[in-house]
Copies of this chain bind each other. A is one copy, B any other.
């Protein structure tokens, strides 16, 4: 069999603010790969990319000095993220052809993987697309599930505010909070997202672009818990509206991703109210929480007991635009590129 095209998305320039179409990320179709003859010596495997996740935090890989769960993207090389791949050929005893694996790989169509310790075989899919293992049944779902478990300390009847609540993480948090008997205040920036939040049972739903957070929290707060993805002014307003002993889960800081700094001037209230602010990253709790997660979540998603939404594109060519959409909040639900079903 002749070599086939092996497209990739590479990191072309460091953006100052939002990534720029045609500049920051470039799609390269020039490379090829021979799927039958490529060497797997030394225990390697050949995989086809099935689906890749596109997340807000990827912006942190695009700075000179930034670091987040590891290292920055390298100029001229493919960007990478969580993905599902299918094993085509195996030179290792660890995985066999046909298996679906989960791990961090490049934005390419085909890859030869050597460090297999970082990949795990996914369970048989429970009536949900493989792409969902990147969303509600994957990293964002785990972020919600693990963060809720280790940091929320939620008690029935408490009040929580979830920012960017219609996203892959937020929508799961809203559902976990409702299941735990909390009053849920949830915000998003588009009508379609607000409608989704109402479907999920959120008690107070508002558009943060047209409604002032401070007013909402004054009317429906104060808060016992905040699950925040935004930081900056949003975090400051939240801090002013927390109850004593409140917990703020710092799960994202998009206010600072595309701006030079985001200032918070009322941190003294952390002492006055004896608050806890905690940054939680999903990877730190994999060993502690993953088994419970896989036992519970995929089946509930398949049955519709937990709901999710996806924004799907079906070509690497569409990645640069979707990447920008995710930074600007223009997607609804988990953003994924699906290359194989």
A residues near B (Cβ < 8 Å) are 60, 66-68, 231, 235, 245, 250-253, 255-256, 261-281, 284
How far is it, in angstroms, between the C-alpha of A221 and the C-alpha of B267 when the chains are bound?
A: 23
Main secondary structure on A side of the interface with B: loop
Q: A250-B267, A263-B265 are in contact. Are A275 and B278 (CB under 8 A)?
A: yes
Cβ contacts under 8 Å, A253 to chain B: 267-268, 270-271
CB distance B264 to A263 under 8 Å? yes
CB-contact partner of A250 in B60, B235, B255, B270, under 8 A: B270
Q: A272-B60, A273-B279, A280-B274 are in contact. Are A261 and B250 (CB under 8 A)?
A: no
CB distance A256 to B268 under 8 Å? yes
CB distance A235 to B267 under 8 Å? yes
Report the nearest B residue to A257, measured CB to CB. B268
Q: A263-B264, A278-B276 are in contact. Are A271 and B252 (CB under 8 A)?
A: yes
How far is it, in angstroms, between the C-alpha of A278 and the C-alpha of B270 when the chains are bound?
A: 7
Cβ contacts under 8 Å, A262 to chain B: 265, 267-268
6 more contacts with CB within 8 A, not counting A264-B264, A270-B278, are A250-B267, A250-B271, A261-B266, A273-B279, A275-B279, A276-B278
Q: A67-B272, A272-B68 are in contact. Are A231 and B279 (CB under 8 A)?
A: no
CB distance B271 to A251 under 8 Å? yes
Shortest Cβ gap from A28 to chain B (Å): 30
A-B contact pairs, 28 of them (CB 8 A): A60-B272, A66-B272, A68-B272, A231-B268, A231-B271, A245-B284, A252-B271, A253-B268, A255-B268, A256-B268, A261-B265, A263-B263, A263-B265, A264-B265, A264-B267, A267-B267, A270-B277, A270-B278, A274-B278, A274-B280, A274-B284, A275-B277, A275-B279, A276-B276, A276-B277, A276-B278, A276-B279, A277-B278
Cβ contacts under 8 Å, A284 to chain B: 245, 274
Shortest Cβ gap from A226 to chain B (Å): 13
How far is it, in angstroms, between the C-alpha of A107 and the C-alpha of B229 when the chains are bound?
A: 47
CB distance A281 to B270 under 8 Å? no
How far is it, in angstroms, between the C-alpha of A145 and the C-alpha of B176 when the chains are bound?
A: 36
How far is it, in angstroms, between the C-alpha of A250 and the C-alpha of B270 when the chains are bound?
A: 7
Cβ contacts under 8 Å, A275 to chain B: 277-279
Report the nearest B residue to A280, measured CB to CB. B274
CB distance B263 to A274 under 8 Å? no
Shortest Cβ gap from A210 to chain B (Å): 26
Report the nearest B residue to A281, measured CB to CB. B274
Shortest Cβ gap from A334 to chain B (Å): 20
Cβ contacts under 8 Å, A66 to chain B: 272
Q: A263-B264, A266-B261 are in contact. Are A281 and B277 (CB under 8 A)?
A: no
Report the nearest B residue to A249, measured CB to CB. B271
Shortest Cβ gap from A276 to chain B (Å): 5
| Among A250, A266, A267, residue most surrounded by chain B Cβ atoms (within 10 Å) | A267
